């Protein structure tokens, strides 16, 4: 999601107070973790906070890309993707942040900042670093170059190495309220089914906006039907595949996975008994696993959609047994 979509994030107030207080203190901590679920504007906060940190009186600051703010994120998937990237063409992203990217960042830190005395490294999302990548970053966090600060954007802070967490201060970003989401969707120019988008988003503006932009209302309804009514003749799974689309791209599939996980999680929280809840928790776990595998395997999109439907159907069957 483009961080400029919505200029005001109402859930950032406390984070800004803590950040500004730290900037005004005698010694600014060199490592920060921005923690919260996906779609809460953490990257937008990181970018704005980094600009405040590197700005100095009397030194003009560029309006666009800043030479003293380095962002490490997903790079090209392979050599073919790298060639496309270098040619200015569309390319497939890697699933993780790799050690070579951290090594390149560390090489750049061997010289002084370009404009002032400070520099900021943003890693987004830090919870998608490979283990070797995390260990390489740890060395920089343990002995940061003078004037260098690190901001780690993370949706799942528990996936970070404990040694990384121990060297950083944590800023937590709360989920948005339904009223806040409705206003932000309106400000973003969306005119779709707000109620369904807000319900599926669970406090995440990114998820709500994705729901609206991808027109996921019919898919949400079909997921509900599979969980509630089952699908003994497979027509429901076929309909889900049709709604998702035979040529769904990575972004749409990601949105569908997040939607399915959200609906299953909501049902698990409101389930009537422990066996039904266990079935839904297992379905959620399998959806998370499949979502992680999907980008790296050469899945046929139609078969992948059927597999999503099958996981939902199994949850319904297990829930029926729980009542049986």
Q: Which of 83-92, 145-154, 279-288 has the highest mean pLDDT?
A: 145-154
**pLDDT averaged over the chain?**
89
**Rg of the chain taking only CA atoms, in angstroms:** 22
Q: Rounded CA gap, 149 and 272, in Å?
A: 48
Q: State the number of CA atoms in the 13 A half-sphere of 179 facing the CB.
A: 1
Average pLDDT of the residues in 162-173: 96
- Domain ranges, ordered by start, for the chain: 10-172, 214-323
Domain 10-172 has CATH 3.40.50.300: yes
Residue, of 298 and 27, whose pLDDT is higher: 27
Q: What pLDDT is recorded for position 224?
A: 92
Q: What pLDDT is recorded for position 321?
A: 55
3-state SS assignment for residue 87? coil
On the question of pLDDT at 14 being above 70, the answer is yes
Average pLDDT of the residues in 280-309: 83
Q: Rounded CA gap, 258 and 168, in Å?
A: 29
Q: Rounded CA gap, 300 and 308, in Å?
A: 13
pLDDT digits (tens, 9 = 90+) for 66-81: 999 999 999 888 888 8
Strand stretches in the chain, DSSP E = 31-35, 69-72, 119-123, 148-154, 169-172
On the question of pLDDT at 296 being above 80, the answer is no
The first and second tokens of residue 251, run together, are 């972004």
Average pLDDT of the residues in 2-27: 83
Sign of the alpha-carbon dihedral angle for 230, 234, 236, 240: positive
Q: Rounded CA gap, 65 and 54, in Å?
A: 13
Q: State the number of CA atoms in the 13 A half-sphere of 59 facing the CB.
A: 16
Q: What pLDDT is recorded for position 274?
A: 86
On the question of pLDDT at 3 being above 70, the answer is no
Residue, of 111 and 297, whose pLDDT is higher: 111
Average pLDDT of the residues in 205-231: 90
Q: Rounded CA gap, 157 and 37, in Å?
A: 10
Report how far Cα 127 is from the mean position of its chain's Cα atoms: 10
**In terms of Cα–Cα distance, which of 184, 171, 233, 224 is closest to 200?**
224
- 3-9: long-range pairs with CB below 8 Å, 24+: 3/41, 3/43, 3/44, 3/47, 4/44, 5/188, 5/209, 6/41, 6/184, 6/187, 6/188, 6/205, 8/187, 9/40, 9/41, 9/44, 9/45, 9/205
Q: Rounded CA gap, 261 and 266, in Å?
A: 9
pLDDT digits (tens, 9 = 90+) for 239-293: 999 999 988 887 888 889 989 998 998 889 888 788 888 989 999 999 988 887 7
């Amino acid at each position: 999601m483009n961080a400029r979509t919505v200029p005001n994030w109402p859930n950032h107030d406390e984070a800004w107070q803590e950040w500004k207080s730290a900037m005004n203190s005698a010694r600014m901590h060199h490592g920060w973790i921005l923690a919260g679920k996906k779609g809460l504007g953490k990257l937008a906060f990181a970018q704005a906070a980094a600009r405040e940190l590197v700005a100095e009186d009397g030194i003009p600051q560029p309006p666009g890309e800043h030479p003293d703010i380095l962002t490490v994120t997903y790079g090209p998937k392979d050599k073919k993707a790298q060639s496309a990237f270098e040619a200015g063409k569309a390319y497939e992203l890697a699933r993780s942040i790799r050690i070579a990217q951290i090594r390149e960042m560390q090489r750049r830190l061997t010289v002084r900042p370009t404009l002032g005395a400070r520099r900021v490294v943003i890693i987004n999302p830090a919870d998608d670093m490979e283990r070797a990548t995390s260990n390489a970053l740890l060395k920089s966090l343990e002995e940061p170059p003078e004037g260098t600060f690190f901001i780690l954007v993370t949706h799942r802070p528990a996936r970070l190495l404990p040694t990384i967490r121990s060297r950083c201060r944590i800023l937590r970003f709360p989920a948005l309220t339904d009223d806040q989401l409705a206003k932000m969707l309106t400000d973003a120019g969306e005119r779709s089914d707000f109620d369904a988008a807000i319900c599926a988003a669970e406090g995440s503006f990114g998820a709500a906006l994705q729901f609206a932009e991808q027109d996921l209302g019919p898919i949400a309804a079909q997921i509900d039907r599979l969980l509630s009514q089952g699908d003994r003749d497979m027509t429901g799974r076929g309909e889900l595949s049709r709604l998702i689309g035979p040529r769904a791209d990575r972004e749409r599939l990601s949105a569908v996975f997040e939607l399915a996980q959200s609906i299953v999680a909501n049902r698990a929280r409101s389930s009537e008994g422990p066996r039904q809840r266990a079935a839904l928790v297992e379905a959620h776990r399998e959806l998370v696993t499949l979502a992680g595998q999907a980008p790296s395997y050469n899945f046929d999109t139609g078969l992948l959609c059927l597999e999503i439907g099958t996981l939902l159907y199994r949850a319904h069957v297990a829930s029926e047994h729980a009542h049986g």
